[in-house]
């Protein structure tokens, strides 16, 4: 039986780490890094029409109009839940849809989230497409049904190409998955159950099968000599 190549082992571990992490590495929709505040601040209205809220010296701008997917979304009400600024509600100009546009900030910069849904009595209920764009240029995209993440979950490279695609069941990665290099060539595929990889196939830089790994038996088969 051929020796398991060290470079292949490194690639295998990298793929497992990437697939087993949470969907985006960021707070889930509806969460915010801002704490509760007793008084809602009055926004500064810039010359471009954006409402700018300032927390701890950091500005969070909400434009009057957003272009996202199927057209223009016009800013409506600000969404506060229990004294926390979730973001602004936007309305689609052609369709009877609402969206929550949310901004958070950390040491790396701004993360923005486009979350279709509807505003309930005490919360914002996600329904439809949800997309997050991160400071490093990557993004994630998924679907929510009555507040539950059902997928598919898609992650994107900085150049906009698909990085990974997972099936979700009850918010957990379960079912088939695929992982791609930034040039679009497949890197790995396999099966996950409850967030854990059970079977995986690795591919070389040309997209040709390289090895298969059964996680349940810890057996690996090299496909290229």
Whether pLDDT at 169 is above 50: yes
Looking at CATH, the fold of the domain delimited by 6-26+134-222 is given as Outer Surface Protein A; domain 3 (3.90.930)
Of 67-71, 78-82, 211-215, give the lowest mean pLDDT range: 78-82
Whether pLDDT at 8 is above 60: no
Residue located via tokens 């290099």:
181
Tally of residues, the chain: 225
C-alpha atoms less than 13 angstroms from C-alpha of 126 in its C-beta half-sphere: 22
pTM check: above 0.85: no
pLDDT in tens, 105-158: 989 999 999 999 988 777 788 899 999 999 999 999 999 988 888 879 999 999
> Angle 174-160-97 (CA atoms, 0-180°, nearest 5)?
70
| Mean pLDDT for all residues in the chain | 83
C-alpha atoms less than 13 angstroms from C-alpha of 60 in its C-beta half-sphere: 25
pLDDT in tens, 75-102: 999 988 777 788 999 999 999 999 999 9
C-alpha atoms less than 13 angstroms from C-alpha of 220 in its C-beta half-sphere: 14
Find the mean pLDDT for residues 36-59: 82
> What pLDDT does residue 6 have?
43
> What pLDDT does residue 18 have?
62
> What pLDDT does residue 9 have?
46
Q: Which residues contact 213 (CB under 8 A, 6 or more apart)?
A: 12, 199, 200, 201, 202, 219, 220, 221
> What pLDDT does residue 17 have?
56
Closest CA to 71 of 111, 29, 116, 112: 116
> What pLDDT does residue 21 have?
56
């Amino acid at each position: 039986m051929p020796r398991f190549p060290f470079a292949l082992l490194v690639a295998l571990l990298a793929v497992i780490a990437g697939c087993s992490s949470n969907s985006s590495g960021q707070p889930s929709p509806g969460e915010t890094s801002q704490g509760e505040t007793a008084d809602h601040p009055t926004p500064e209205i810039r010359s471009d029409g954006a409402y700018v809220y300032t927390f701890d010296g950091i500005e969070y701008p909400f434009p009057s109009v957003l272009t996202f997917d199927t057209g223009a979304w016009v800013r409506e009400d600000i969404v506060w839940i229990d004294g926390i600024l979730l973001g602004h509600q936007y309305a689609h100009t052609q369709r009877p849809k609402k969206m929550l546009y949310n901004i958070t900030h950390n040491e790396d910069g701004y993360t923005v989230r486009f979350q279709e849904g509807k505003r309930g009595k005490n919360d914002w209920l996600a329904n439809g497409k949800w997309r997050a764009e991160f400071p490093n240029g990557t993004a994630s995209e998924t679907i929510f049904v009555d507040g539950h993440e059902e997928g598919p979950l898609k992650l994107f490279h900085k150049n906009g190409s698909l990085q990974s695609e997972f099936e979700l069941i009850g918010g957990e990665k379960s079912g088939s998955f695929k992982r791609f290099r930034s040039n679009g060539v497949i890197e790995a595929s396999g099966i996950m159950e409850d967030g854990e990889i059970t079977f995986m196939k690795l591919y070389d830089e040309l997209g040709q099968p390289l090895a298969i790994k059964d996680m349940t038996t810890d057996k690996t088969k090299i496909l290229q000599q």
